Structure 1
């Protein structure tokens, strides 16, 4: 694939390597923890197993609170492509499934399965592949996925995804550099388990079929280099290469450049230059999964720093709280005025927010420094523009400009200066005379940019949905209008084609509606007019029937007029009765008998008849009123007599006085 392949093989055979720009040489401090074998720890009472410990998405939970679980039992599924299952680190009971502090610089709580260990440490059924060389590559890759293996060098990328590569591979690179100070977990693993690492390499060769295998070990690990050389000596295409000590030679892009002189593109992957890389810890886990059938439930963790009296390497179960680890290494609180615990090394590690933070798949070190061992973030001073950071950057970036843009929250500018090409190695912060924690600024800015892009993506998706809805509503409106237009045109065409029959039908329908309306009006007015029956209405479909309907309507109109005239006549008669009654009452109050006679004599005509009818119909009322008038007359006479009497008494009194 590449023209320089033969040249690379020739230089590797001569132990001649290339170099990468920048880099630093910090104090190693590895002798604190690499002098003794890896120890096995006693089980903690509680395990806190985060459901997501890798790059990608977590699977669905397979357990519930109160369930009994066995060691190695899957706690989550692996149905989605970028998901990797997690497993129970020991047998016990699922005490809770809730948010718990995460192994992240922010310490933001994440979904965690809390398991109370029963102390029995009983394994579930294991399913190893007896002879992987006879198994298909797909089955082997699936077994790697089922074991929950992700990159253990720090990135945490799902191993089964990387192993599914379809591009041709020239160089399979096994990374045993472990260049960061203090950390010795890979060193001790290579010394004590070189053969199992070799088995993992063989499995990867079976899957990927590379042309050459390069096992790279930094030259400050002679024992590890020797043991791996012995383990791989029978393989002609396995090259053991000792790489000069320089930080960060263990970076993926930097190590590829040192071994092959090829540079991975800014937004590319190692496979784009014919290379693929795995950590020695990942190789060990692959061998464990395929040969023994064991899922990834533990890893080697370095416990180091002057704050620990017994620095060492231990086999730590995933989910073990940090407090359990530092207790096993004899934490000396007198070495720290303010407690500080770092997950990872001094260059790329981060301070944890709680001692209940669990060990995860990418945890390779717990560093407990004394007060004067490492600089504090609070020691930050103003930048003096010395450009030492730019000289040390292995990615050839401009850390000073990135720092200014990150601090000013100018996200677009920071991204324009290739912030995402930063590998967060910490070389710039290490050489900074002002002790500015540059990597912390870069990490925060990267997170802000990702959040901004996520919000923009959500906004864009919402806009697309809105525009799609708007277009759909407009389309439906146009379809309705087109449907109505076509229907109207069809009606017009039908009217023209049937020679006026449609107009006759419309006229007949209007006539039926009018007749029915008039009939309802007559019924409401109390007339006896006959309402057209349904049969009559329904039979008016032809022009002749339309004429019949018109005749019915005319007849109904005549009946309505006659009813109105009759009603008017009755009203006039009622008014006449009322007038006659009023006149009779007025005359009866003076002379009842005379009044009656005068009425009979003066009104011998129609009025007399009306008066008689009124008197007959309301005789009782007349009697009552007559009685009232008589009573009123008597009262007036009594009043007159009283006045006369009073006047007579006054006159009599006046005569006496005279």
Structure 2
């Protein structure tokens, strides 16, 4: 009963997935006490020996520093300070090889020691409970303390949680599960009291509900020392079974609390904060003793070391000095490893420095840590998945990392890999799995950094673009204000000399004054005031003034000028429109010449052209309104048709504009000097063509209904043909308007919005006429049947004939088909060229964004070029799609079926024919003559059907120019 009671009181220890049991090899170094390390002639202190932003140097070469002096301050929230481990002189600040598997260089502060080991003035805090948690966090931050267990995360971040985060458990990591390493073991044996003091400081900062210390059961002496130091404290000790990697943060939390930290989460999300025993010891030294983190306990072990053990080494000590201090025989060293044999890495040179996270140096003989066997193909045994402590799929991660499929690797939680090496340890094919994962992680981080750089470049571009747009809007507002002021000025100058509105206002004010005087006089008279007579006289005087004002208003109304005839108004407005358009064209030409020559007056000329354009547009609108309100003229027999003349003029103007555009483009491609002048001329022709089109629309709207002439000899007009013609005309006008609007938007023209609105109007007209055409087709009577199939082809029953045979194809002009095919070919070529140019420009932009030396202005200019080329390709694609859709619509109109239906019918006929042939081949040897004859008959009928379907499809494609 008693044993059962005490067994129930034993703290529960949980388990995690996977894990391995490699040889511990801790006996080599855990038998001796911690010894002082060497005082090297030179210390090398990397600025990035912690996770986060590198520290910012506070010293210059030639400065003398004292022990404990801050020589680099934290740069940003996630960063840590760096202090001088001893006194000396700063000899250099520059790149040096650092602790990295690739042997990369980084910025380091180099101190030449003077051997005096002089401390800077320092003092600790005797009673830390008198200080606020914020003050203690600052002390830890500026003491440069980072995680001592290997990750190197700044401790000030982990002990400064927000008010909304409640710490349920503070977990102290004393497991030290990796083979060979005994630094924490010896630290707990010899300095347990100081570790517990550091834990108490952490409890004061975090206020956890429980504090747990996790220690592996292979450290009995350390367990005893910690238990003695914890006596009477609210700290619980959890002795966990020896298994690698139980020292991993998430694995230890699961072992001692049973909580599982999910993928993408941090321990704080489940209410847990984890700290290493070495970190707790460093916190005690910083707070109580006032000593920054300038040294740490490091294990020196391996068969190549004559005096293995644990040494208290100054941060920045070159590994070669520690090896010499420990009596390492260079001839016996096969591999030199920083860290443990599972998660450490081979050093390329012993000149690299010891850093805050260096807990072990292994000088191994060739027999102790031999070179790994050559990698062999994966046999898919699944052993790696069985031992993975993070419960991942290492085999899948390996394939995706090897194939650079980073997206799938991330989908399999690549970033959750703790790089413990358990998978590589059990792999029978000797695949260096961890190296693949490290490579993939680095690629993912580089990808994220590149994306961040691209996002910043995009944000800079968008901010600049917004600034430019704001300046344009402000300039436009000023221009509109000037136009409004000029308009009011013109209206004031054109107004009659007699201001009727002012007279009416004056009359109203005089009447109000008269009424008020009458009221005052009556009140004075009622009260018997002495000035009643004076007030009555004043009222009479004001009445005379009011009467005169009313008379002036009447006279002004009777003297108003007679209305100008509508015909004179239209003629006058036409002349004004012509003058305004000519002035606008001249201004545009002058502005473009100034821009081409780089004159300073280009912007002013462009603004003047915009003003003239607005005036011309206003006059055009007034002209349209005047035309709409003018009485229709009675046409005579001899009067010429204005619509026909305008159509002819529009055609000539459009042809001239297209020729000018072609000439201008050729000049621009050849770099001719007159390219700007030719482009200006094309713009002038475009404006003239647009004006003629507007006049044509107005003429059509105002034209009287034509009286139909009876022509008994001519056949009645086909309404479908007329509607198709109308749809074609409106669609062509819409496409031209879309093209003009896009060109205006590309060039930043002031009339871009107006052109876009005109295109939308034409689109609505085109949709209306297309709907009319569909309704007319639906209501049209059935056409005559197709001509019979030639006699040399097998005849089919009418019921089995495809639908294409019952509806004849309308004759199509072969010249129109050839012309459309030529246009399709030209548009395809134009689109392919524009798309290729866009791709090349986009690739060049991406390369430039990856280069830091490219300026923001250059990036913006390249982005503009990309956008312009993209727009050009889109225009070509839209035109190509529109032409193809037009051809498809004609196919539907001529055949009664769409292109997809014709293709399906042809494919089905071919498939049925192939199936019948297979059936005939299979039954050829086993069937009778009657059955074979019936099958042959069916086969011939299917061949005829397939041939007709093919012919119908081919004919439809050829007639509409869609052969390609």
Rounded Cα–Cα distance in structure 2 between residues aligned with 1:482 and 1:135: 60
The offset of 1:56, in angstroms, is: 0.9
- The alpha-carbon distance between structure 1 residues 440 and 13, as it changes in their structure 2 partners (threshold 3 A), is farther
Task: Give the conservation status (yes or no) of the 8 Å contact 1:377–1:436.
Answer: no
Residues 1:458 and 2:453 aligned together: yes
Query: Structure 2 length normalisation: TM-score?
Result: 0.50
The offset of 1:501, in angstroms, is: 11
Task: Identify the residue that residue 181 of structure 2 maps to in structure 1.
Answer: 183
Describe how 1:232-243 pairs up with structure 2 within 5 A: 232-235=230-233, 237-243=234-240
Report the more deviating stretch, 237-246 or 491-500.
491-500
Rounded Cα–Cα distance in structure 1 between residues aligned with 2:430 and 2:496: 99
Task: Identify the residue that residue 284 of structure 1 maps to in structure 2.
Answer: 281
Task: Give the conservation status (yes or no) of the 8 Å contact 2:16–2:251.
Answer: yes
Q: 2:400 aligns with which of 377, 382, 405?
A: 405
Task: Identify the residue that residue 68 of structure 1 maps to in structure 2.
Answer: 64
SS at match of 2:224: helix
Q: Deviations over 1:554-595 (max 9, x none)?
A: xxxxxxxxxxxxxxxxxxxxxxxxxxxxxxxxxxxxxxxxxx
The offset of 1:330, in angstroms, is: 2.0
Q: 1:31 aligns with which of 20, 23, 27?
A: 27
Task: Identify the residue that residue 353 of structure 2 maps to in structure 1.
Answer: 358
The offset of 1:51, in angstroms, is: 1.6
* Unaligned residue ranges in structure 1 (runs of 5+): 1-9, 503-658
The offset of 1:105, in angstroms, is: 1.2
SS at match of 1:123: coil
Describe how 1:203-352 pairs up with structure 2 within 5 A: 203-235=201-233, 237-336=234-333, 339-352=334-347
Rounded Cα–Cα distance in structure 1 between residues aligned with 2:262 and 2:25: 34
Rounded Cα–Cα distance in structure 2 between residues aligned with 1:450 and 1:319: 27
The offset of 1:441, in angstroms, is: 1.3
Task: Give the conservation status (yes or no) of the 8 Å contact 1:198–1:232.
Answer: yes
- The alpha-carbon distance between structure 1 residues 465 and 215, as it changes in their structure 2 partners (threshold 3 A), is same
Rounded Cα–Cα distance in structure 1 between residues aligned with 2:134 and 2:472: 53
Residues 1:95 and 2:91 aligned together: yes
Task: Identify the residue that residue 575 of structure 1 maps to in structure 2.
Answer: none
Q: Deviations over 1:41-63 (max 9, x none)?
A: 23111110112211111232111
Task: Identify the residue that residue 447 of structure 1 maps to in structure 2.
Answer: 442
The offset of 1:77, in angstroms, is: 1.5
Rounded Cα–Cα distance in structure 1 between residues aligned with 2:15 and 2:359: 26
- The alpha-carbon distance between structure 1 residues 361 and 501, as it changes in their structure 2 partners (threshold 3 A), is farther
Task: Give the conservation status (yes or no) of the 8 Å contact 1:197–1:284.
Answer: yes
Task: Give the conservation status (yes or no) of the 8 Å contact 1:25–1:246.
Answer: yes
- The alpha-carbon distance between structure 1 residues 198 and 453, as it changes in their structure 2 partners (threshold 3 A), is same
Task: Identify the residue that residue 470 of structure 1 maps to in structure 2.
Answer: 465
- The alpha-carbon distance between structure 1 residues 461 and 378, as it changes in their structure 2 partners (threshold 3 A), is farther
SS at match of 2:82: coil
SS at match of 2:152: coil
The offset of 1:12, in angstroms, is: 9.3
Task: Identify the residue that residue 144 of structure 2 maps to in structure 1.
Answer: 148
- The alpha-carbon distance between structure 1 residues 382 and 16, as it changes in their structure 2 partners (threshold 3 A), is same
Describe how 1:486-505 pairs up with structure 2 within 5 A: 486-499=481-494
Describe how 1:133-144 pairs up with structure 2 within 5 A: 133-144=129-140
Task: Give the conservation status (yes or no) of the 8 Å contact 2:319–2:354.
Answer: yes
SS at match of 1:341: strand
SS at match of 1:234: coil
Task: Give the conservation status (yes or no) of the 8 Å contact 2:53–2:75.
Answer: no
Rounded Cα–Cα distance in structure 2 between residues aligned with 1:11 and 1:476: 79
Q: 2:409 aligns with which of 376, 400, 414?
A: 414
Task: Identify the residue that residue 118 of structure 2 maps to in structure 1.
Answer: 122
Task: Give the conservation status (yes or no) of the 8 Å contact 1:304–1:367.
Answer: yes
Q: 1:165 aligns with which of 148, 161, 165?
A: 161
Query: Structure 1 length normalisation: TM-score?
Result: 0.72
SS at match of 2:449: helix
- The alpha-carbon distance between structure 1 residues 378 and 358, as it changes in their structure 2 partners (threshold 3 A), is farther
Residues 1:132 and 2:128 aligned together: yes
SS at match of 1:379: coil
The offset of 1:351, in angstroms, is: 0.9
Report the more deviating stretch, 401-410 or 27-36.
401-410
Task: Give the conservation status (yes or no) of the 8 Å contact 1:375–1:435.
Answer: no
Relative to its length, the structure with more helix (as a share) is 2
Task: Identify the residue that residue 616 of structure 1 maps to in structure 2.
Answer: none
Rounded Cα–Cα distance in structure 1 between residues aligned with 2:472 and 2:132: 57
The offset of 1:499, in angstroms, is: 4.6
Rounded Cα–Cα distance in structure 1 between residues aligned with 2:337 and 2:254: 30
Task: Give the conservation status (yes or no) of the 8 Å contact 1:197–1:283.
Answer: yes
- The structure whose Rg is larger is 1
Q: 1:391 aligns with which of 386, 390, 394?
A: 386
Rounded Cα–Cα distance in structure 1 between residues aligned with 2:329 and 2:8: 46
- The alpha-carbon distance between structure 1 residues 11 and 418, as it changes in their structure 2 partners (threshold 3 A), is farther
Q: 2:362 aligns with which of 363, 367, 385?
A: 367
SS at match of 1:357: coil
- The alpha-carbon distance between structure 1 residues 371 and 224, as it changes in their structure 2 partners (threshold 3 A), is same
Task: Identify the residue that residue 485 of structure 1 maps to in structure 2.
Answer: 480
- The alpha-carbon distance between structure 1 residues 196 and 240, as it changes in their structure 2 partners (threshold 3 A), is same
The offset of 1:498, in angstroms, is: 4.0
Task: Give the conservation status (yes or no) of the 8 Å contact 2:192–2:229.
Answer: yes
Describe how 1:570-585 pairs up with structure 2 within 5 A: none
The offset of 1:79, in angstroms, is: 5.6
* Unaligned residue ranges in structure 2 (runs of 5+): 1-5, 498-964
Rounded Cα–Cα distance in structure 1 between residues aligned with 2:118 and 2:376: 54
Report the more deviating stretch, 102-111 or 478-487.
478-487
Q: 1:59 aligns with which of 49, 55, 58?
A: 55
SS at match of 2:401: helix
Task: Give the conservation status (yes or no) of the 8 Å contact 1:220–1:245.
Answer: yes
Q: Deviations over 1:462-503 (max 9, x none)?
A: 12322333343234334323322231122111222245699x
Rounded Cα–Cα distance in structure 1 between residues aligned with 2:400 and 2:36: 46
Task: Give the conservation status (yes or no) of the 8 Å contact 1:12–1:241.
Answer: no
Task: Give the conservation status (yes or no) of the 8 Å contact 2:54–2:75.
Answer: no
Q: Deviations over 1:417-440 (max 9, x none)?
A: 110010111110111112222111
Q: Deviations over 1:345-371 (max 9, x none)?
A: 010001112111100000000012211
The offset of 1:311, in angstroms, is: 1.3
Q: Deviations over 1:80-122 (max 9, x none)?
A: 3222110111111111111110111122111111111111101
Rounded Cα–Cα distance in structure 1 between residues aligned with 2:140 and 2:9: 33
Task: Identify the residue that residue 41 of structure 2 maps to in structure 1.
Answer: 45
- The alpha-carbon distance between structure 1 residues 13 and 152, as it changes in their structure 2 partners (threshold 3 A), is farther
Task: Give the conservation status (yes or no) of the 8 Å contact 2:214–2:240.
Answer: yes
Task: Give the conservation status (yes or no) of the 8 Å contact 1:495–1:501.
Answer: no
Q: 2:431 aligns with which of 436, 452, 455?
A: 436
